[in-house]
Amino acid sequence: MAISTYSELKSSIADFLNRSDLTAAIETFIDLAESQMNRDIRHWEMENLVSGQQSQGDKYMQVPADWLETIRFQVTTGNISVLELASMASLADKRQNSNDQTGTPRFYSHVRGEFELFPTPDEDTDFELLYYQKIPALSDSNTTNWLLSYAPDVYLYGSLLHSAPYLKEDERVQVWAQLYSAAVVQLNAQSERVKNSGSGIRLNIRGLG
């Protein structure tokens, strides 16, 4: 059976489990699998490029809602400069030692789900953020995404892995885990080959937030 839509994925999971009474539970298995895949997969299809402007005097910047991990964060006002990631403690020390100077930001840290910039911008400043975004979650209204189209085995085995504890089938955990892990390793490796070969990578550009 082909697996190209949310409905087909749910049907395939039910077929593998040989169960017809798990409709709601299967949706939960898929949700749990998506959470794990967002931690495990780093593929070029997840790369997104956004730009925005930070107001003068505002040291905190909102992180995009679908942000998973920063690849590159840079100032684009004037000469382009890449911001360096610093720990919260290091950033606090820099701010204290400089008497909280303002200027063109050179460092950033993660604070309360936001980016904290240092120095605090002394003028309206343009930024560009390249990051890994979350895999678009499947639902009855969003019936497919790039991962289901490209690697349905990752979705299937990931969902089956999360079905085992629910069904108290501990002996199946290792089987599904091995199949899922192998599929993820191959997917991530394929992404690296594409990026290293210089194949075309398309990035969506939209405002921060």
The DSSP code sequence of 130-152 is EEEEPPPPP-SSS---HHHHH-H
What does DSSP say about strands 205-207 and 67-75: parallel, antiparallel, or unpaired? unpaired
pLDDT in tens, 121-137: 999 999 999 999 999 99
Task: Pick left, alpha or beta for residue 173 (phi over 0 → left; psi -120 to 50 → alpha; otherwise beta).
Answer: alpha
Query: Per-residue pLDDT for 197 more than 90?
Result: no
Q: Residue 1 — pLDDT band, cuts 50, 70, 90? A: low
Q: Please report, for the chain, the start and end positions of each structural domain, with discontinuous segments joined by +.
A: 6-41+135-198, 46-132
Q: How far apart are CA 31 and CA 159, in angstroms?
A: 8
pLDDT digits (tens, 9 = 90+) for 22-51: 999 999 999 999 999 999 999 999 999 999
Backbone angles phi, psi at 66, to 5 degrees: -100, 20
Contact 1, 15 (CB under 8 A): yes
